[in-house]
Amino acid sequence: MSRTATTTCLVLVLGGAALLAVLNLALPADAPLHVPTYTVSLAGKYLSYAMLAVAVDLVWGFAGILSLGHAAFFALGGYAIGMYLMRQIGTRGVYGNAILPDFMVFLNWKQLPWYWHGFDNAFFAIVMVLLVPGLLALVFGWLAFRSRVSGVYLSIITQALTYALLLAFFRNDMGFGGNNGLTDFKDVFGIPLHLDATRDGLLAASAVFLAVELLIARYVVTSRFGKVLIAVRDTESRTRFLGYRPEAYKLFVFVLSAVMAGVGGALYVLQVGIINPSEFSPANSIEAVIWVAVGGRGTLVGAVLGAVLVNLGKTYFTGALPELWLFALGALFILVTLLLPDGLLGLARRRPRAAPAGPAPEPEPAE
Amino acid sequence: MILLRVLLLLIAICPLAARADDDPFAGLAGGYEDIRRAVDALALSGNPHAEPAVAALQAGTLFVAPDRSLWIRQDGTLTNARTGDPGTPDGDLKRVRVNNAVRRSIEAAMGALTLFSHDPARRMKAAADLFAQHDAAALPALDRALANEQDPAVRTALQQARAAALLSAGTAPVPDRLAAIAVLRARGDLDASNLLASLSGQPPAVAAAASAAVTAIARVQQLWALVQAVFYGLSLGSVLLLAAAGLAITFGVMGVINMAHGEMVMLGAYTTFVVQQVIATSLPALSGVGVLLAVPAAFLVAGAVGIAIERLLIRFLYGRPLETLLATWGLSLALQQAVRSIFGASNRNVTTPGWMSGAAEWGGLTITFNRLYIIVFAVLVLVALMAVLRFTALGLQMRAVTQNRRMAAAMGIRTPWIDALTFGLGSGVAGMAGVALSQIDNVSPNLGQGYIIDSFMVVVFGGVGNLWGTLVSALTLGIVNKFLEPLAGAVLAKILVLVLLILFIQRKPRGMFPLKGRAVEA
Amino acid sequence: MIHNDTLLYLDGVTVSFDGFRALNALSLVLERGEMRAVIGPNGAGKTTMMDVITGKTRPDSGKVVFGEATDLTRLDEPAIASLGIGRKFQKPTVFEPHTVWDNLLLALAGDRRPRFTLWARQSAEEGERVEAILQTIRLAEHRGRRAGDLSHGQKQWLEIGMLLAQEPQLLLVDEPVAGMTDAETEQTAELLREINRTRSVVVVEHDMAFVRALGVKVTVMHEGAVLSEGSIDHVSADPRVVEVYLGR
Ligand SMILES: Nc1ncnc2c1ncn2[C@@H]1O[C@H](COP(=O)(O)OP(=O)(O)O)[C@@H](O)[C@H]1O
Ligand SMILES: [Mg+2]
């Protein structure tokens, strides 16, 4: 099941992206099947969200770590590429300063802060897209898993982490553009961002990166490592008495997942053209979790499905019925957890589970 | 300024001037030069009617009758400037005119005249002005004012002004200067310290005393700043405590991760708004105590919503904390949107009753009343909560159910009811917190969002299931935050506290005061 | 007191929870190759003793020496497990979503580090070892089933099988026959004796018939300390034991 599902998903993602790109590029704007560039970018955005969702599923579905701060890694990846794009603007900014981004000129800064150095180099920026989220996850995870913080406690401190970053990035003196974030990008690798072909290329790149991410994630969870990880998720202490170090396993997937989220964030910023502190908001992280829950936790493919479906819904609602969107999202959270614990893929799979209709389970003291 | 000096010098020779002209008012009926001199004389006279007369002259409401009697016109009635008695002059009144020289004299005179005003508040102000000017020329006037002064507060102010003037004079004998330094040191504020620090060319003994006084004042100031920070910290801590108290029940005691907890707070704040509206339209007599009425109302509203949530949602998710977290988050989104749809997205205005607004100063400490009441309220809520858990049948059954559910059920306790009531209690407490927060925060649909992370941090930091821990934790976090603020700024302080908390929880995952036992480890 | 053939040595181990002493200066010596039955009323501290040996609980005082001179109180659970101490819990705990085969494969002695398991492929030798254990624990025909779908007794055996796969020098077994049928109990005793041919075993058990069937030296614990020690007949005759345990 899972293998065919993965294959189907890869075909759909890659084929769908290619189709959209071709229909956008090859057909004239008035052709009936022409896909507007707006749609291409939207699809690319969904795919970068799907990358975040797969990253969340990797830790939540397979290691039992309900991270409520994964949007932080996503946003950090986004900021890393955003800094590169910012420096690419060069003299084309409003103030025409070759070195300093507009907001720094506006703040009367005289020189580039040290942590902005190197971001004029695309290779350096790409390394940072991987490194910054990875390092944060490494430090945070090392501290958390070593002291055996788990369950809701871990969830709460991951949420606090992203909240702290949200507050930090709102500050102007942090040097990341404060409230407004980074925007007005002109080109990437020397290619103008506004061109249709660039958009199509970015969509294709998102599809490829998502596919690679899915394959890596699938390799990890089906390897012996993945089996240990699932064992850790369900019976952590047993694995310890078998001689495994759960903290090492958790740390590895946590870092891997953070890096994946960071790559998703970078692709996101390339396609939406802006990154600001609101991407760190705790609500974003939780929304990513619900994508996974909708699609089916612990299935990877479900994460992609959930991310795309929920965001299609969001696009529709916020356009047509903006007041109802939060009701719909709220109801989704409630209904999925109550009625669809295995998500949409679980609905298809339907293996007999511990009777959901049985007597209500009993409350237990907090873990 | 120079004029003032001249004037004050004149005051110094005041007894002489007084003898020179027995009726200081007389000149006002004369030419400009006479008027000018009369004004100067009045300024020194200590005559209680001098000030209104000069003020009237300044305002252009002083008139002279053909018999040279002087009249002040105010609101159409005339009073005799010499006696202050109302009356009717004979013949036509002529306005007393002024030129620039006179005008300058008037201005200077008004400053000194207030030193002898009837009104203690004005005398106080005059003394404070003279302190700020610390001009040696003011000494004789101050001495005279001191000789007559009865009001102790004004006396103190005058003495301080005199001390300041005396130190600036540079001619007073050393023991007098030392006494003056002592007076300033006792005053103990930043102005006194600045004045002492600016002294130059003093004899060594005086200079040493001055610098010692500066240090002493700095120490006192630091102490006050500390006390003020503690007060701010307690205030913030009490807000955190209020926000977290309900969560200490639902999360701490029951183990339910209620992400809609903040929305219970928000509902409490909106209940306050509604209660206030109802009172304003139908029971205006009660408007002063609207906030008090809102407390039980908010408890009932939020508590009822809490019971409904428990029965309709949470009871299906017991033992699945992560699912509970997601479902209640969804609920919180829906509740926010519901409130936004009903009341609109903008902030609602909840007025603070008179008895809750204002502030008191106490030494270097400023205490705003609404903050003070919130501290008191937070303590009351916590005490009430502890009493309910400790002394009521509900509390006993609650503890029984959370400690050993099966045993409690076997003993005939209706555990589902207890679950619902416990959750209702926690939610109701959150609602009461909303009443308090409506006084200091914007009543908007997002109100609760701002508190949810903080509340969880407070409960976890204090040790889950431990109300005392929650208290200590909330106050500690509040105070730490306020102590960091001057060093790092408000936002950075908050970030630092969050980071410290994250690190702390990783060191001690069960908080400061963990509950022990096997049940916890499961 | 410590011979060369002493495998495990507990000396004055004390553990208290909020002032309550779960273990009270407990001392115990286990020879290499020995099987020891530990009995005692509920709350005597038997499980806590296992917690201390396996590193789950740190004692307030006392020493736990394994082999030549390894102080177990300084190590954590994975380190102790890697030294060759396996533990079976009171409640059977297996990896429910995995197959019986995978459960055993994960338990096989070998490199436990992520960088190994990430690339590990099942070797022929590993396959043989799993196969052999499947025979020993009589679950060969269930190899492909989800462990969560096994019966209670089968899970108990699977867990014992996982311990064997770990190839420990010492096995700690907590109430292995609780909830088993008589036939299963019989088979379990047989299995333990078989295991004991190559390894040392400590069995905690309530079931007196089972302990008698094992026919090994018995330690009776009470209130966190050793009350009596010797053959089953010896301890059964001890009046203190009769009073606190058997007499009820
Ligand atoms: N983590 C713990 N916290 C508090 N008390 C504990 C803990 N672990 C064990 N105990 C107590 O220690 C005593 C011994 O327990 P245990 O070792 O499980 O006994 P046995 O296994 O012999 O029945 C019991 O009274 C138990 O309640
Ligand atoms: Mg036991």
* Residues contacting C178, CB < 8 A, separation 6+: C90, C206, C207
Distance of residue B170 Cα from the nearest chain A Cα, in angstroms: 48
Amino acid at C1: M
Q: Which of A220, A223, A238 sits opposite C93 (nearest CB)?
A: A238
* Highest mean pLDDT, choosing among B103-107, B341-345, C2-6: B341-345
> Stretch C199-226: mean pLDDT, rounded?
88
Angle (CA) A234-A240-A242 rounded to 5° is: 100
Q: Chain A contact for C75, CB < 8 A?
A: no
Contact status, residue B39 vs residue B54, Cβ threshold 8 Å = yes
Helices marked H in B13-49: 14-20, 32-45
For chains A and C, count residue pairs whose Cβ atoms are closer than 8 Å. Answer: 74
Asked if the structure places residue A73 within a domain, the reply is yes
pLDDT score for A279? 95
Neighbours of B475 (CB within 10 A): 22
Question: Tens digits of per-residue pLDDT, B283-296?
Answer: 888 777 888 889 99
Q: Which of C77, C106, C122 sits opposite A241 (nearest CB)?
A: C77
CB-CB neighbors (< 8 A) of C18 in chain B: 516-517
How close is the Cα of C123 to the center of ligand 1, in Å?
42
Amino acid at C168: P
Residue A130 has φ and ψ, to the nearest 5°, of -85, -40
Q: Is C30 in the pocket of ligand 1 (CB under 6 A)?
A: no
Question: Tens digits of per-residue pLDDT, A260-307?
Answer: 999 999 999 999 999 999 999 999 999 999 999 999 999 999 999 999
Q: How confident is the model at residue C124 (pLDDT cuts 50, 70, 90)?
A: very high
Q: Is B517 in the pocket of ligand 1 (CB under 6 A)?
A: yes
Question: Tens digits of per-residue pLDDT, B348-364?
Answer: 888 888 787 888 877 77
- Picking from B339, B422, B423, B498 by the largest number of A CB atoms within 10 A of its own CB, the best residue to mutate is B498
Q: Which of residues 7-66 of C touch B (CB under 8 A)?
A: 17-18
CB-CB neighbors (< 8 A) of C22 in chain B: none
Pairing type for strands B62-64 and C35-39 reads unpaired
Question: Tens digits of per-residue pLDDT, B471-495?
Answer: 999 999 899 888 888 888 878 888 8
Cα–Cα dist A325/A319, whole Å: 9
Q: Which residue has the higher pLDDT, B333 or B83?
A: B333
Q: Shortest CA distance to B113 belongs to which of B103, B102, B123?
A: B123
Cα–Cα dist C146/C164, whole Å: 20
Q: How confident is the model at residue C157 (pLDDT cuts 50, 70, 90)?
A: confident
What residues does C173 pair with on adjacent strands? C88, C203
Asked if the structure places residue A357 within a domain, the reply is no
Which chain A residue is nearest to residue C168, measuring alpha carbons?
Answer: A242
Q: Which of A224, A238, A240 sits opposite C117 (nearest CB)?
A: A224
Least confident of A68-82, A253-267, C88-102: C88-102
* Residues contacting A269, CB < 8 A, separation 6+: A77, A78, A79, A81, A82, A85, A182, A275
How close is the Cα of A63 to the center of ligand 2, in Å?
29
Tokens matching residue B262:
């903040």
Q: Is B47 helix (H, G, I), strand (E, B) or coil?
A: coil
**DSSP 8-state symbol, C244:** I
pLDDT score for B335? 94
pLDDT score for B403? 78
Question: Tens digits of per-residue pLDDT, B32-85?
Answer: 888 888 887 887 676 778 888 888 888 888 888 888 888 888 887 888 888 888
pLDDT at C201 over 90: yes
Cα–Cα dist B162/B143, whole Å: 8
- H or E segment and range at residue C212: helix C208-214
Q: How confident is the model at residue B311 (pLDDT cuts 50, 70, 90)?
A: very high
Number of H helices, E strands in chain C: 10, 10
Verify whether the Cβ–Cβ distance B334 to A341 is below 8 Å.
no
Verify whether the Cβ–Cβ distance B326 to A282 is below 8 Å.
no
Q: Which residue has the higher pLDDT, B363 or B157?
A: B157
Cα–Cα dist B14/B8, whole Å: 9
How close is the Cα of C201 to the center of ligand 1, in Å?
22
pLDDT score for A33? 85
Encode A52-93 in three state secondary structure.
Answer: HHHHHHHHHHHHCCCCCCHHHHHHHHHHHHHHHHHHHHHHHC
Q: Is C43 in the pocket of ligand 1 (CB under 6 A)?
A: yes
Q: Mean pLDDT, chain A, as a whole number?
A: 90
Cα–Cα dist B404/A131, whole Å: 48
How close is the Cα of C179 to the center of ligand 2, in Å?
14
Chains with at least 3 CB pairs less than 8 angstroms from chain B: A, C
pLDDT at C208 over 90: no
Q: Which atom of ligand 1 is nearest to the CA of C44?
A: 22
Pairing type for strands C200-204 and C35-39 reads parallel
pLDDT at B191 over 90: no
Tokens matching residue A133:
């989220």
Tokens matching residue B109:
């005179």
pLDDT at C207 over 50: yes
B84-91 long-range Cβ contacts below 8 angstroms, 24+ apart = B84/B48, B84/B49, B84/B52, B89/B63, B89/B65, B90/B65, B90/B66, B91/B65, B91/B66, B91/B67
Q: Which ligand does the CA of C16 lie closest to?
A: 1
Contact status, residue B115 vs residue B123, Cβ threshold 8 Å = yes
Verify whether the Cβ–Cβ distance C78 to A244 is below 8 Å.
yes
Asked if the structure places residue A158 within a domain, the reply is yes
Distance of residue B113 Cα from the nearest chain A Cα, in angstroms: 51
Cα–Cα dist B387/B20, whole Å: 80
Pairing type for strands C20-31 and B62-64 reads unpaired
pLDDT at B200 over 90: no
CB-CB neighbors (< 8 A) of C87 in chain A: 241
Q: Which ligand does the CA of C178 lie closest to?
A: 2
Verify whether the Cβ–Cβ distance A157 to B506 is below 8 Å.
yes
Verify whether the Cβ–Cβ distance A242 to C113 is below 8 Å.
no
pLDDT score for B1? 54
- Picking from A156, A321, A324 by the largest number of B CB atoms within 10 A of its own CB, the best residue to mutate is A156
Asked if the structure places residue A354 within a domain, the reply is no
Distance of residue C176 Cα from the nearest chain A Cα, in angstroms: 16
> Stretch A313-327: mean pLDDT, rounded?
90
Q: How many domains does chain A have?
A: 1
Chains with at least 3 CB pairs less than 8 angstroms from chain A: B, C
> Stretch B134-157: mean pLDDT, rounded?
80
Q: Is C176 in the pocket of ligand 1 (CB under 6 A)?
A: no
Least confident of B42-51, B85-94, B305-314: B42-51
**DSSP 8-state symbol, B443:** B
Question: Tens digits of per-residue pLDDT, C31-71?
Answer: 999 999 999 888 889 999 999 999 999 999 999 999 887 88
Cα–Cα dist C148/B430, whole Å: 42
Which chain A residue is nearest to residue B325, measuring alpha carbons?
Answer: A152
Tokens matching residue B58:
């300044």
pLDDT score for A242? 93
> Stretch B301-321: mean pLDDT, rounded?
92
Asked if the structure places residue A366 within a domain, the reply is no
Q: How confident is the model at residue A352 (pLDDT cuts 50, 70, 90)?
A: very low
Q: Which of residues 239-298 of A touch B (CB under 8 A)?
A: 282, 286, 289-290, 293
Q: Which of residues 117-146 of C touch A (CB under 8 A)?
A: 117-120, 122
Tokens matching residue B255:
């183990």
Q: How large is the ipTM? A: 0.89
Tokens matching residue A231:
């064992």
What residues does C63 pair with on adjacent strands? C11
What residues does B78 pair with on adjacent strands? B73
Tokens 């010499």 label which residue?
B82
Question: Tens digits of per-residue pLDDT, A188-241?
Answer: 988 999 888 999 999 999 999 999 999 999 999 999 999 999 999 999 989 999
**DSSP 8-state symbol, B353:** P
Q: What percent of chain A has pLDDT over 90?
A: 67
Cα–Cα dist B96/C47, whole Å: 106
Verify whether the Cβ–Cβ distance B330 to A290 is below 8 Å.
yes
Question: Tens digits of per-residue pLDDT, A27-51?
Answer: 888 888 888 889 999 999 999 999 9
Cα–Cα dist B479/B230, whole Å: 6
What is the per-residue DSSP string for B77-95? EEEETTT--B---SS--EE
Distance of residue B381 Cα from the nearest chain A Cα, in angstroms: 24
Domain that holds residue A136: 3-345
pLDDT score for C209? 81
Neighbours of A313 (CB within 10 A): 15
Q: Is C40 in the pocket of ligand 1 (CB under 6 A)?
A: yes
HSE-CB of B338 using CA atoms within 13 angstroms: 13
Cα–Cα dist A99/A106, whole Å: 13
Q: What percent of chain B has pLDDT over 90?
A: 18
Q: Which residue has the higher pLDDT, C125 or B7?
A: C125
Q: Shortest CA distance to B333 belongs to which of A261, A329, C199?
A: A329
Single pTM value for the model = 0.83
Cα–Cα dist A58/A52, whole Å: 10
Cα–Cα dist B50/B520, whole Å: 82
pLDDT score for B4? 59
HSE-CB of B466 using CA atoms within 13 angstroms: 19
Tokens matching residue C197:
């041919």
Contact status, residue A101 vs residue A93, Cβ threshold 8 Å = yes
Q: How confident is the model at residue A93 (pLDDT cuts 50, 70, 90)?
A: confident
pLDDT at B127 over 70: yes
Q: Mean pLDDT, chain B, as a whole number?
A: 83
Tokens 């009441």 label which residue?
B373
Tokens matching residue A154:
């871990």
Tokens matching residue A37:
């560039």
Q: How confident is the model at residue B328 (pLDDT cuts 50, 70, 90)?
A: very high
Question: Tens digits of per-residue pLDDT, A124-171?
Answer: 999 999 999 999 999 999 988 988 888 888 898 899 899 999 999 999
Distance of residue C18 Cα from the nearest chain B Cα, in angstroms: 8
What residues does B74 pair with on adjacent strands? B77
Verify whether the Cβ–Cβ distance B337 to A330 is below 8 Å.
yes
Cα–Cα dist B251/B321, whole Å: 10
Distance of residue B289 Cα from the nearest chain C Cα, in angstroms: 48
Q: Which ligand does the CA of B515 lie closest to?
A: 1
Q: Which value, in Å, is the radius of gyration of the alpha carbons in chain A?
A: 21
Helices marked H in B73-138: 100-113, 120-133
Q: Is C119 in the pocket of ligand 1 (CB under 6 A)?
A: no
Q: Is C61 helix (H, G, I), strand (E, B) or coil?
A: strand
Neighbours of C80 (CB within 10 A): 26
How close is the Cα of C60 to the center of ligand 1, in Å?
15
Verify whether the Cβ–Cβ distance A164 to B257 is below 8 Å.
no
Q: Shortest CA distance to B3 belongs to which of B128, B132, B137?
A: B137
Cα–Cα dist A310/A45, whole Å: 13
Asked if the structure places residue A326 within a domain, the reply is yes
Q: Which atom of ligand 1 is nearest to the CA of C22?
A: 12
Verify whether the Cβ–Cβ distance B318 to A334 is below 8 Å.
no
Q: Is C46 in the pocket of ligand 1 (CB under 6 A)?
A: yes
> Stretch B396-414: mean pLDDT, rounded?
83
Contact status, residue A198 vs residue A273, Cβ threshold 8 Å = no
Tokens matching residue A127:
């390394």
Q: Chain A contact for C178, CB < 8 A?
A: no
CB-CB neighbors (< 8 A) of B463 in chain C: none
Distance of residue C247 Cα from the nearest chain A Cα, in angstroms: 36
For chain B, list the domains and their CATH numbers: 2-116 (no CATH), 225-521 (1.10.3470)
Length of chain C: 248
Q: What percent of chain A has pLDDT over 70?
A: 95
Give per-residue burial for A137-149: e unless 16+ CB within 10 Å, then b: bbebbbbbbeebb
Asked if the structure places residue A359 within a domain, the reply is no
Asked if the structure places residue A154 within a domain, the reply is yes
* Highest mean pLDDT, choosing among A109-123, B12-26, B222-236: A109-123
Q: Is C4 in the pocket of ligand 1 (CB under 6 A)?
A: no
Tokens matching residue A55:
């990253």
pLDDT score for A357? 37
pLDDT score for B520? 44
Q: Is B522 in the pocket of ligand 1 (CB under 6 A)?
A: no
Tokens matching residue A63:
């290691």
